[in-house]
Amino acid sequence: MKFKLYKDVKEFYKDTYDVLLKHEAQNIIPLGNIIIGVKGEDKTDWRDPANWLMATVSDATHIHITAIMTPPHSITLYATDNKINDEALECLVNSLADSLDIHIPGVISEKSLASKFAEKYTAKNGLKSELYQSQRIYELASINSEIADIGDLRLAKESDIAFVPYWSESFNGDCFDNPIVVRSDLESYRYHIVQSPVHILEDNGVPVCMAKINRELVNVCCIGYVYTPPYFRGKGYASSCVAKLSQIGLERGFKKCVLYTDLANPTSNSIYQKIGYVPICDSLAIRFTP
């Protein structure tokens, strides 16, 4: 087995794009990342490929494992055709361990691969692993016509800076257990209004929910950043917002929409299935600690 570490995102794209595309919806994160890197138009926060870890493990016939990490985020792995080659996985773990300048905070991947990598990597490096989130990946090809049509969906505008920072931090708090602290520097929040705008659902002129299309591939787009303030929940706003935005994605020509859910949140999983989303893969997010 041969471990290859890449410095050029275009070379990485050339070697891995078609491999990842075999399971396009499942690989929405790594595919979206390398597309962002190759375009090079947006280097905000983690998006500069100069800081990424990009690697493959292959033999004489084909690539067995593709790995990409966009610090400070966890490494994302894909076993080609979802067939885990133990020799390739061992090669990946040993090669990463031998690279002393590489810090890997955790892994996000299809559940079997994530578990095996976490077990081997932590044993090799004297670390502990902690299951951070059990996830499910869903895809949708058509909207359930019975979903209630509530409110009006619009793109975010400059004046939304009055509340978007609070919603953004609350979303991160709900999803990632991050402390809810709104920073005085508004530029990172303005990103969600100007560069990669969220959609806002309004009910009688009042903003009640947000979501965004945050990755666009060949056949699929990804719906994410879904947030409803606690005092507006239970009124059908998230269902209507996601349904409307998913319809926009389909009308743009994408064959399917994709989203991630936290399996610990039965409400969101139920909502998305009622809209028409069907599960395609389970994923784990695992943290590594000393």
DSSP 10-56: HHHHHHHHHHHHTTTTTTHHHHHHHHHHHH-S--STT--GGG-EEEE
The model's confidence at residue 179, banded by pLDDT at 50, 70 and 90, is confident
Residue 188 is predicted with a pLDDT of 85
Is-contact 116 267, C-beta < 8 A?
no
Average pLDDT over residues 254-278: 96
Query: How many other CB atoms sit within 10 Å of the CB of residue 76?
Result: 20
220 vs 32: CA distance, rounded Å? 10
Is-contact 199 210, C-beta < 8 A?
yes
The model's confidence at residue 175, banded by pLDDT at 50, 70 and 90, is confident
User: Residue 275 pLDDT more than 70?
Assistant: yes
Q: Which helix (H) or strand (E) holds 188?
A: helix 187-190
Sign of CA dihedral 41, 45, 46, 48: positive
In this structure, what is the dihedral angle of CA atoms 9, 10, 16, 18, given to the nearest 10 degrees? 140
Domain architecture of the chain: domains with CATH: 2-126 (3.40.630), 152-282 (3.40.630.30)
Average pLDDT over residues 101-111: 94
Of 35, 280, 278, 262, give the one whose Cα is nearest residue 135.
Answer: 262
The model's confidence at residue 281, banded by pLDDT at 50, 70 and 90, is very high
What pTM value is reported for the model? 0.92
First to last CA, the chain: 29
Residue 185 is predicted with a pLDDT of 84
Give per-residue pLDDT as tens, 191-205.
889 888 999 999 999
Query: Tokens standing for 175?
Result: 């999803």
User: Residue 100 pLDDT more than 70?
Assistant: no
